[in-house]
């Protein structure tokens, strides 16, 4: 792959990641949100595949395949199953911040991450590291979704967005944190989602609905 | 020697996993009841052996360099072993009472013991990890395993606590992952890629400073979430109050300290890369924040398990304060404090679990005159509170004194004074609450007295279980004496804590050796 094509595909993939994060903020139907999340997982895998082709690294190529299966397939499937189990409540009805304000917040978060990541880009300037702010923006948007949504499933998607963003930053920065660590991280994410999935089911069992506003037994 | 040692390092991880497998296969029956306690005893014995060997021959490593144990890791292994032994030795009596009361089945008990085994193994892996990535994975693994333990009772409150616990801790730990990746990036730029803790510290002076600063803030904030430091502490009182008593003892006594161990490792790297001022400032802010939160919320606390949980936040604040000071004396005192707090807090949580089983309420104002009804249990609670508040002869007195002295020597006088004032407020609050629980007339006498009419008005909301009046009735009828095995566990914990306070004995060289691993690396790496 020529350098120009590499840079183009890289930037395109990063743009796609950002677009998916913003779409999650914009849409309210949980089914759509899960589909957008799956698309983001696939784009993340493409990004890693591009890096693998550029660095001629078979290890990275394997990781790209694994990421695609996990984030584009397994995790969205788990979320979708949780959604079917949830019954009729399939919309994020009352987010704490309305959609227009959320989109404005996303713009502010993007500016913030560009400001914060300047030293990161300056350390080793390259097409890959110049995309770090995009990864950070996805992390921050994920955090924003996590704190402003009321449905258990949307919070879960927020957590996973954060995780996609962190993975993006990881691969853009150095891609070689060690295969053991990479495997451990993926396994942990999978397990965390399984745990949360089970807890979502239990919340529905005991509270009747997965609206987290119902969670107010414990406070001071 | 090295071959035997590398095998030895696997014992504290392997034995609890085997015990967990035992529960998975055989279930909860007569033959397996004490399996967890035996495995914890083996972990403690292995930890002591490792500590002696490490003190004599220096650090050892295993599994292709993924595990590495120095004096600090060995000390933390001893803490894990000691508190796991207390918690698992009290588990059979606790679970037997739960099964009798119909709140658990043999299946729940087996699952509980299986998860506790994995929990101990994950903590032992965390403190022996040679690599920041492995450390991260192990700490996240503790969150996943304990999530099910927190939600074990499946009540509304327990499910809510488990949800909050997983969401907040996973988010916090995700920040730590981002920090880890950025630190790896800085190391790559410096020409030494990798996350090995020793190599990172050695290469620290060549790391890019602005990038390392971002990484360190994320790492301290992330691991600080698991420690329960401000601003990410909200999960702690919920999780610790809803978990079964032996799990609360383990979580409060060791899990918080294991996460604090991760913060200490990050601080060593930060000190070498950025000078000692940066991590110190971050930790001081978090420490004073934690003390302030604990002080304000303890004053009006009405639930005794939550009271103990907030008290853990206070102690973690003190640890962060000692860590921020960072001198040899301060770090040695921090480590002694970790052990002393672990023992005292485990004793109190186990006792609190027993009180909850006997009275059916976790409200302070409904437990009255414990001393008259169950003197042995009340005595243990009383002494435990005295130990936790840092009175001699218990070891927390020595360690708090050491931390404050080191702080004043390091020129942090005003901050130490502020911390002392907050600690004083907390002491007063805890004294008032526990005096209410221990002293006074038992409720059977109260019901005839004039206090009876006022008692139910402060009770919990009706959703919280049986109404206060029936609670008091059951409290008087079902309050049997605490089983001898539980009492002996509590007494053993208190005696160990007191002995440590009077003479640290062979532990003292290990403490200073461990403190040196924190400070010597810094001296060696500073250009």
Tokens (6 digits) for B340 = 């002393």
Looking at the predicted structure, is the pLDDT value of residue B442 above 80?
A: no
Q: Which domain holds residue A131?
A: 3-214
SS3 assignment, position A59? helix
pLDDT category at A180 given cuts 50, 70, 90 is low
Kindly state whether residue A220 falls inside one of the protein's structural domains: no
pTM strictly above 0.80: yes
Do residues B381 and B359 lie in contact, with contact meaning Cβ atoms separated by under 8 Å?
A: no
pLDDT category at B2 given cuts 50, 70, 90 is low
B275 backbone φψ class: left, alpha, beta (φ>0; ψ -120 to 50):
left
Kindly state whether residue A209 falls inside one of the protein's structural domains: yes
Please list, in sequence order, all residues whose beta carbon lies within 8 angstroms of the beta carbon of residue A126, skipping any fewer than 6 positions away: none
Average pLDDT over residues B310-314: 93
Using CA atoms, how far apart are residues A141 and B265, in angstroms rounded to an integer?
30
> Tell me, what's the ipTM?
0.93
**How many beta-carbon pairs under 8 angstroms link A with B?**
137
Q: How many CA atoms lie within 13 A of A101 on its CB side?
A: 7
What distance lies between CA A129 and its chain's CA centroid?
19
Query: What DSSP assignment string belongs to A10-39?
Result: HHHHHHHHHHHHHHHHH--BHHHHHHHHHH
pLDDT of res. B64: 84
pLDDT digits (tens, 9 = 90+) for B163-220: 889 999 999 999 999 999 999 999 988 888 788 999 998 889 899 999 999 999 999 9
Using CA atoms, how far apart are residues A52 and A57, in angstroms rounded to an integer?
5
DSSP class of residue B460?
P
Residues 55-114 of B with CB under 8 A from A: 66
B133: nearest CB among A119, A143, A177: A177
Kindly state whether residue A219 falls inside one of the protein's structural domains: no
Domains in chain A, number: 1
Kindly state whether residue A12 falls inside one of the protein's structural domains: yes
Cβ distance A191 to B131 less than 8 Å, yes or no, reads: no
Tokens (6 digits) for B525 = 């790496």
Do residues B304 and B367 lie in contact, with contact meaning Cβ atoms separated by under 8 Å?
A: yes
Among the listed residues B113, B143, B97, B144, the one whose alpha carbon sits nearest the alpha carbon of residue B29 = B113
Residues 365-394 of B with CB under 8 A from A: none
pLDDT of res. B465: 41
Do residues B273 and B204 lie in contact, with contact meaning Cβ atoms separated by under 8 Å?
A: yes
Å from A119 to nearest chain B CA? Answer: 6
pLDDT of res. B523: 46
Looking at the predicted structure, is the pLDDT value of residue B248 above 90?
A: yes
Listed range (B104-108, B348-352, B368-372, B385-389) with the worst mean pLDDT: B368-372
Tokens (6 digits) for B92 = 């059979």
Residues in a beta bridge with B196: B131
Among the listed residues B478, B245, B452, B278, the one whose alpha carbon sits nearest the alpha carbon of residue B359 = B478
Domain ranges of chain B: 2-443+477-525
SS3 assignment, position B67? strand
A184: nearest CB among B133, B210, B242: B133
On whether any CB of chain A is under 8 Å from the CB of B131, the answer is: yes
pLDDT digits (tens, 9 = 90+) for B480-495: 778 889 999 999 999 9
Residues in a beta bridge with B481: none
pLDDT digits (tens, 9 = 90+) for B35-79: 999 999 999 999 999 999 999 988 999 888 889 999 999 999 999
Tokens (6 digits) for B214 = 């971002």
Kindly state whether residue A30 falls inside one of the protein's structural domains: yes
Q: Which residue of A has its CA nearest to B160?
A: A215
Looking at the predicted structure, is the pLDDT value of residue B445 above 80?
A: no
Tokens (6 digits) for A220 = 């001071």
Query: Which residues of A lie closer than 8 Å to B, measured between beta carbons?
Result: 116, 119-120, 123-124, 139, 143, 146, 152, 155, 159, 162-163, 166, 169-170, 173-174, 176-178, 180-181, 184-185, 187-188, 191-192, 195-196, 199, 202-203, 206-207, 212, 215, 217-218, 220
pLDDT of res. B471: 43
Per the model's pLDDT, the better-predicted residue between A17 and B368 turns out to be A17
Query: Which residues of chain A make contact with B182, given a CB cutoff of 8 A?
Result: 120, 169, 173
């Amino acid at each position: 792959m020529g350098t120009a094509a590499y840079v183009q595909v890289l930037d395109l993939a990063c743009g796609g990641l950002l677009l998916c994060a913003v779409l999650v903020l914009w849409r309210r139907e949980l089914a759509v949100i899960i589909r957008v999340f799956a698309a983001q997982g696939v784009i993340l895998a493409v990004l890693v595949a591009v890096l693998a082709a550029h660095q001629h690294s078979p290890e990275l190529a394997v990781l790209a395949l694994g990421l695609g299966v996990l984030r584009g397939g397994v995790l969205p499937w788990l979320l979708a199953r949780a959604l079917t189990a949830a019954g009729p409540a399939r919309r994020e009805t009352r987010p704490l911040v309305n959609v227009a304000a959320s989109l404005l917040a996303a713009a502010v978060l993007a500016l913030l991450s560009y400001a914060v990541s300047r030293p990161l880009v300056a350390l080793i300037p390259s097409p890959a590291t110049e995309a770090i702010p995009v990864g950070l923006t996805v992390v921050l948007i994920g955090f924003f979704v996590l704190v402003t949504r009321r449905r258990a499933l949307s919070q879960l998607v927020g957590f996973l967005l954060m995780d996609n963003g962190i993975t993006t930053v990881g691969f853009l920065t150095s891609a070689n944190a060690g295969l053991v660590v990479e495997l451990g991280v993926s396994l942990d994410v999978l397990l965390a989602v399984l745990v949360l999935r089970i807890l979502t089911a239990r919340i529905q069992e005991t509270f009747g609905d997965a609206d987290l506003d119902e969670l107010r037994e414990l406070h001071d | 020697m090295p071959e035997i040692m590398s095998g030895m390092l696997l014992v504290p991880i392997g034995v609890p996993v085997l015990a967990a497998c035992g529960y998975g296969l055989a279930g909860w029956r007569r033959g397996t009841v004490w399996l967890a306690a035996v495995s914890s005893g083996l972990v403690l014995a292995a930890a002591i052996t490792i500590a002696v060997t490490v003190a004599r021959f220096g650090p050892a490593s295993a599994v292709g360099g993924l595990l590495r144990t120095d004096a600090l890791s060995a000390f933390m292994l001893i803490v894990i072993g000691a508190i796991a032994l207390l918690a698992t030795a009290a588990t059979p009596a606790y679970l037997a009472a739960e099964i009798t009361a119909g709140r658990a089945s043999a299946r729940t008990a087996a699952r509980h013991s299986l998860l506790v085994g994995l929990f101990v193994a994950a903590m032992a892996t965390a403190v022996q990890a040679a690599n920041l990535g492995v450390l991260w994975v192990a700490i996240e693994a503790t969150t996943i395993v304990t999530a099910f333990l927190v939600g074990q009772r499946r009540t509304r409150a327990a499910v809510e606590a488990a949800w909050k616990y997983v969401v907040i801790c996973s988010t916090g730990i995700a920040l730590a992952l981002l920090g880890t990746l950025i630190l790896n990036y800085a190391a790559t730029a410096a020409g030494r890629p990798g996350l090995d803790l020793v190599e990172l510290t050695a290469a620290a002076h060549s790391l890019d400073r602005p990038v390392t600063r971002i990484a360190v803030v994320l790492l301290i904030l992330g691991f600080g979430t698991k420690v329960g430091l401000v601003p990410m502490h909200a999960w702690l009182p919920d999780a610790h109050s809803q978990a079964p008593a032996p799990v609360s003892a383990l979580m409060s006594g060791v899990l918080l300290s294991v996460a604090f161990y991760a913060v200490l490792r990050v601080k060593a790297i930060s000190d070498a890369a950025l000078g000692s001022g940066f991590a110190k400032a971050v930790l001081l802010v978090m420490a004073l924040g934690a003390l302030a939160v604990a002080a304000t919320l303890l004053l009006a606390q009405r639930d005794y398990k939550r009271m103990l949980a907030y008290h853990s936040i206070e102690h973690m604040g003190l640890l962060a304060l000692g860590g921020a000071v960072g001198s040899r004396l301060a770090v040695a005192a921090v480590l002694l404090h970790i052990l002393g707090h672990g023992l005292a807090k485990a004793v109190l949580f186990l006792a609190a679990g027993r009180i909850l089983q006997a009275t059916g309420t976790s409200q302070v104002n409904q437990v009255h005159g414990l001393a008259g009804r169950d003197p042995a249990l009340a005595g243990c609670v009383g002494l435990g509170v005295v130990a936790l508040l840092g009175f001699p002869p218990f070891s927390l007195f020595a360690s708090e004194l050491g931390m404050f002295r080191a702080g004043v020597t390091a020129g942090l006088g005003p901050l130490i004074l502020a911390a002392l004032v907050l600690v004083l407020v907390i002491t007063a609050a805890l004294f008032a609450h526990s005096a209410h629980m221990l002293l006074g007339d038992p409720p059977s006498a109260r019901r005839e007295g004039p206090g009876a009419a006022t008692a139910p008005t402060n009770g919990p909301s009706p959703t919280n279980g049986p109404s206060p009046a029936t609670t008091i009735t059951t409290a008087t009828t079902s309050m049997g004496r605490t089983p001898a095995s539980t009492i002996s566990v509590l007494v053993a914990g208190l005696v160990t804590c007191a002995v440590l306070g009077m003479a640290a004995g062979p532990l003292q060289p290990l403490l200073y050796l461990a403190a040196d691993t924190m400070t010597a690396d810094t001296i060696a790496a500073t250009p």
